[in-house]
Amino acid sequence: VMLRVSFGLKEGGEGNMKNGVIQ
């Protein structure tokens, strides 16, 4: 999960971070 959260942040958005957490 943490890796996906970091990836989401790098992609540039809280939306991506939330998607990473959900997935």
Residues 1-23: pLDDT tens digits? 556 556 656 665 565 556 556 55
Instruction: Find the farthest-apart pair of alpha carbons in the chain and give their distance in angstroms, rounded.
Output: 17
DSSP string, 5-17: HHHHHHHT-HHHH
Question: Can you give the pLDDT at residue 4?
Answer: 59
Tokens (6 digits) for 22: 């959900």
Q: Say what the pLDDT of residue 16 is.
A: 55
Rounded to whole angstroms, the Cα distance separating 2 from 11 reads: 14
Q: According to the model, what pLDDT value does residue 10 have? A: 61
First to last CA, the chain: 8
The dihedrals phi and psi of 12, each to the nearest 5 degrees, come to: 105, 60
